[in-house]
């Protein structure tokens, strides 16, 4: 037998079961994907308005804010990775974690 924080907890088991029922309906995914799309569009509008060296990417519910060293004319994976500003990215990450 294994021990753990939520192992065998009836409340957690029920929550997992109910979540599975929601996932099976399919509505859950369309909802969180729509939230992800709205987040990406809003972030990109903020980036554009501030003229920040950044670009927003993502798919479905996943989003990524790429902080860049210099502007990128045609964002693609290579240009975003090549121009990544890792120092700013880590600073931003620490800022988010602290708040």
Report whether 61 contacts 35 (CB < 8 A): yes
Is 50 within the bounds of a domain? yes
| Residue 73, in any domain of the structure | yes
Average pLDDT on 44-63 reads 96
Domain extent, residue 87, equals 10-98
Q: With 70 as the cut, is the pLDDT of residue 6 above it?
A: no
Q: pTM for the complete prediction?
A: 0.73
Question: What is the mean predicted confidence (pLDDT) over 12-34?
Answer: 88
Q: How far apart are CA 24 and CA 4, in angstroms?
A: 27
The confidence score (pLDDT) of residue 12 equals 83
The set of long-range contacts for 38-46, using a CB threshold of 8 Å and a minimum separation of 24, is: 39/63
How many domains does the structure of the chain reveal?
1
Does the residue 4 lie in any domain? no
Does a structural domain hold residue 41? yes
Percent of the chain with pLDDT over 90: 70
Answer yes or no: is pLDDT of 95 > 80: yes
| Contact (Cβ atoms closer than 8 angstroms) between residue 53 and residue 68 | yes
């Amino acid at each position: 037998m294994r021990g753990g924080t939520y192992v065998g907890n009836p409340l957690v088991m029920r929550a997992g079961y109910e979540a599975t029922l929601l996932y099976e309906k399919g509505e859950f995914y369309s909802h969180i994907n729509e939230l992800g799309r709205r987040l990406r569009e809003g972030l990109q509008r903020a980036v554009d308005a501030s003229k920040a060296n950044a670009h927003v990417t993502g798919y479905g519910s996943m989003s990524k804010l790429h902080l860049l060293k210099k502007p990128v004319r045609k964002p693609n994976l290579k240009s975003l990775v090549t121009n990544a500003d890792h120092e700013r990215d880590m600073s931003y990450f620490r800022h988010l974690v602290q708040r």
